[in-house]
Amino acid sequence: MSKPSILLIYTGGTIGMVKDFETGALRVFDFNNLLERIPELKLLDCDIQAVSFDKPIDSSNMNTHKWARLASLIEEHYNDFDGFVILHGSDTMSYSASALSFMLENVAKPVVFTGSQLPIGDLRTDAKENLITAIQIASLKSNGEPVIREVCLYFEYKLYRGNRTTKISAEHFNAFMSPNYPALAESGVHLKVTRELLWPNAPEKQLQVHKDFDDNVVIIKMFPGINEQVLSSILNTPGLKGVVLETYGSGNAPTDIYFISILQKAIQNGVQIVNVTQCSGGSVNMGHYETSTMLKEIGVISGADITTEAAITKMMYLLGQEVTASEFKRQFESSLRGELS
Ligand code: ASP
């Protein structure tokens, strides 16, 4: 049997950064150097080819066009490789993994995002383990078929569903968590994949790539004292089409008339408003408290236990599909790629 073939896509991020001698700041450097710095890659039992963004970026510079570029790279090479590993800065990795999960409908091969907290050249780097195991995961096959058939994120010994993750630490190697869905696999002495948790994409279905994301959206995080004028001016932004509202607890918000009527007017003007919790785990349950009943009545959509990262990218995806308002609500409240329970 031939060795699995893996395409490594380098977008940038700390994993391939060096310190600027003059300023001391970390900046991206040439990808060819990255491969030279990991001779271990040659020891893996798979064929690895690599492509890089023309200009690698710090992931703070990620945007919808670059997500479309990533999706195009996978689309162009989809039939030539068994799996894809995307090297990406950790800062916005959860957004990108979520975005790509919506862009790549029916993906039946592994697409594994990874990166690191320390550059690959650093003595104490976490980059090597992350990269090597991500490649091994992307190479896993059973009866000739890929084991993983979805967009995932591998970091510090755990493989997560990409659209369930969030970055939780700017310091610890253990930088990500998946608050509402268990890890799909864990790496220790053995690589343990929990098959029942995997997203069951059928290989016979055709990959469909959706690159049209609509970025006329905003995330509003609630806080006590939020000002009427500020809120009203955001919701009256010309062209605004969607709002992810990060509320308290199980989806609660003020019951003040001014607050509810600003949201209601926006909804009447065609703005989609989705309720997600600002807690780091758990679910929205509108109507559970009096403080969320009105939200439900005026037509706010429930994000259930979706992360903010998945909610904003799902919103951009659905708005890009130009679905009707009722279809938007129906699709948002259902699991399209395993992003909510
Ligand atoms: N600032 C970096 C980035 O997101 C951090 C990292 O790679 O972990 O590109």
CATH code, 249: 3.40.50.40
CA–centroid distance, residue 194 to ligand 1 (Å): 29
Out of 209, 242, 270, a domain closes at: 209
* Angle CA 137–138–140, to nearest 5: 65
Residue 173 and residue 227 share a domain: no
pLDDT of residue 314: 98
Going by C-beta distance under 8 Å and a sequence separation of 6 or more, which residues neighbour residue 169? 175
Out of 181, 209, 237, a domain closes at: 209
CA–centroid distance, residue 14 to ligand 1 (Å): 5
Residue 242 and residue 274 share a domain: yes
- Strand, coil or helix: what is 152? strand
Residue 339 within a domain = no
Provide the domain limits for residue 318: 217-332
Q: Could you tell me if the CB of 89 is within 6 A of ligand 1?
A: yes
- Integer distance in angstroms from the first to the last C-alpha of the chain? 38
pLDDT of residue 70: 98
pLDDT of residue 31: 67
Q: Do residues 69 and 50 make contact, with C-beta atoms less than 8 angstroms apart?
A: no
pLDDT of residue 227: 94
- One-letter identity of residue 122: D
Query: Whose structure tokens read 């690191």?
Result: 116
Number of folded domains that form the chain: 2
Residue 144 and residue 109 share a domain: yes
Supply the residues annotated as catalytic: 14
- Strand, coil or helix: what is 268? helix
CA 240 to chain centre: 22
Residue 228 and residue 177 share a domain: no
Residue 186 and residue 45 share a domain: yes
Q: CA-CA distance, 336 to 248, in Å (whole number)?
A: 25
CA–centroid distance, residue 97 to ligand 1 (Å): 14
Residue 101 and residue 12 share a domain: yes
Q: Could you tell me if the CB of 125 is within 6 A of ligand 1?
A: no
pLDDT of residue 93: 98
Q: Could you tell me if the CB of 119 is within 6 A of ligand 1?
A: no
CA–centroid distance, residue 225 to ligand 1 (Å): 33
Residue 164 and residue 29 share a domain: yes
Q: Could you tell me if the CB of 14 is within 6 A of ligand 1?
A: yes
Q: CA-CA distance, 36 to 200, in Å (whole number)?
A: 36
pLDDT of residue 202: 80
Q: Do residues 100 and 67 make contact, with C-beta atoms less than 8 angstroms apart?
A: yes
b/e for 225-263, b at 16 or more Cβ within 10 A? eeeeeebeeebeeeebbbbbbbbbbbbbbbeeeebbebb
pLDDT of residue 25: 85
Q: CA-CA distance, 13 to 26, in Å (whole number)?
A: 10
Residue from 18, 87, 91, 173 to probe ligand 1 pocket by mutation (most atoms less than 8 Å from CB): 91
Residue 243 and residue 155 share a domain: no
Residue 243 and residue 141 share a domain: no
Q: Do residues 99 and 127 make contact, with C-beta atoms less than 8 angstroms apart?
A: no
Residue 205 and residue 227 share a domain: no
- CATH assignment at residue 100: 3.40.50.1170
Out of 209, 236, 271, a domain closes at: 209
Going by C-beta distance under 8 Å and a sequence separation of 6 or more, which residues neighbour residue 90? 13, 14, 59, 115, 116, 117, 155, 167, 175, 176
Residue from 19, 34, 58, 154 to probe ligand 1 pocket by mutation (most atoms less than 8 Å from CB): 58
Q: CA-CA distance, 249 to 278, in Å (whole number)?
A: 7
pLDDT (tens, 9 = 90+) of the chain, 341 residues, equals 689 999 999 999 888 887 777 888 887 766 666 666 678 888 899 999 889 998 889 999 999 999 999 999 999 999 999 999 999 999 999 999 999 999 999 999 999 999 999 988 788 999 999 999 999 999 999 998 999 999 999 999 999 999 999 999 999 999 999 999 999 999 999 999 999 999 988 888 999 999 999 999 999 999 999 999 999 999 999 999 999 999 999 999 999 999 999 999 999 999 999 999 999 999 999 999 989 999 999 999 999 999 999 999 999 999 999 999 999 999 999 999 999 99
Residue 155 within a domain = yes
Residue 204 and residue 63 share a domain: yes
pTM: 0.96
How many helices and strands, by DSSP H and E, does the chain display?
A: 9, 20
Residue 177 and residue 37 share a domain: yes
Radius of gyration of the chain (CA): 21
pLDDT digits (tens, 9 = 90+) for 139-177: 999 998 999 999 999 999 999 999 999 999 999 999 999
